[in-house]
Structure 1
Amino acid sequence: MEIKNSLQNNFEQIKADALAIRKSVFVAEQNIDISLELDNLDDVATHFVVYLNKQPIATARIHRTNDNGWHLQRVATLKSFRHQGVASMLMHNIESNASTLGITYLTLGAQLQAKDFYQKLGFIAQGSIFLYAGIQHITMCKFL
């Protein structure tokens, strides 16, 4: 497996591969409206994509927030590659790259069904449950 990000590789290609995975997972599987899934942050975020035999299988993105923090979101793995450690590998790569960029703190909005996954990676839940796209989420954070 290989992980590429849009800072070090062809931005448009990495973004396109990321969007294809997100459409499959969030729009097709979870029935999230495409207008909620695709937003103006896609053009400014750093996208990460995991490839297996040159095929994109998992993705996530990070972007700067209005308060100069960094937010991790749109973490998705194609169904046939879940529960094989791909997402954990992706998260470790993102954290490593974030540290290299001087990012010391990440936040994310985890779907409640994924909360335990993020806790195992060291993220801490904060605040109350909220709805996004009709799905329950919770804010989580981690110092790198």
Structure 2
Amino acid sequence: MTDIHIRIADWQQDNAELRRIRETVFIAEQSVPPELEWDAEDAAAIHFLALDGDYAIGTARLLADGHIGRVSVLRDWRGLGVGDALLQAVIAEAERRDLKQQRLSAQVQATAFYERHGFTVISGEFLDAGIPHVDMLRESRG
């Protein structure tokens, strides 16, 4: 990780990069149907891009109700702390917006990652796009 940084993205201007990452991770790698990946929430969401220099390598989104989703990092950058930096940026923005609770639906295999960031499992396991998930919650301190 040399020049990794996170910034808030613009859904219109950064659409090609946001779509490229999500299509690669969710649609191509995880076989999520495109009609489940793209939804009406995207237009109003706050989107984040992780960049290595000028190259977009990860993304996430934050909804107005504090729901975090679409957290994804391209394969070649996984295990390098990019997901941690991305999630920290999303949490910081949620707290800046006074969203006392952040929620997400995590793939079961990723629950330990989210637990490191203060999330706790609040549901039983369920399938979303054919992938086992659990709902998780984080309460802001203070």
Identity of aligned residues (%): 34
Q: Quote the Cα distance in structure 2 between the aligned partners of 1:25 and 1:97.
A: 24
- Residue-by-residue CA offset, 1:84-122 (whole Å, 9 max, x unaligned): 000001111111111111111100000001011111111
Match of 2:7 in 1: 4
Q: Which residue identity does 1:108 align to in structure 2?
A: L
Where structure 2 has 5 or more consecutive residues not aligned to the other structure, the ranges are none
Q: Quote the Cα distance in structure 2 between the aligned partners of 1:71 and 1:129.
A: 18
- Residue-by-residue CA offset, 1:16-47 (whole Å, 9 max, x unaligned): 32221000000000111111101111111110
Where structure 1 has 5 or more consecutive residues not aligned to the other structure, the ranges are none
Q: Quote the Cα distance in structure 1 between the aligned partners of 2:15 and 2:48.
A: 8
Q: CA RMSD in A?
A: 1.1
Matches within 5 A, 1:109-128: 109-128=105-124
- Residue-by-residue CA offset, 1:39-68 (whole Å, 9 max, x unaligned): 11111111001011111001100113xxxx
How many aligned positions are there? 137
Q: Which residue identity does 1:102 align to in structure 2?
A: D
Relative to the length of structure 1, the TM-score reads 0.90
Q: Quote the Cα distance in structure 2 between the aligned partners of 1:34 and 1:121.
A: 29
Relative to the length of structure 2, the TM-score reads 0.92
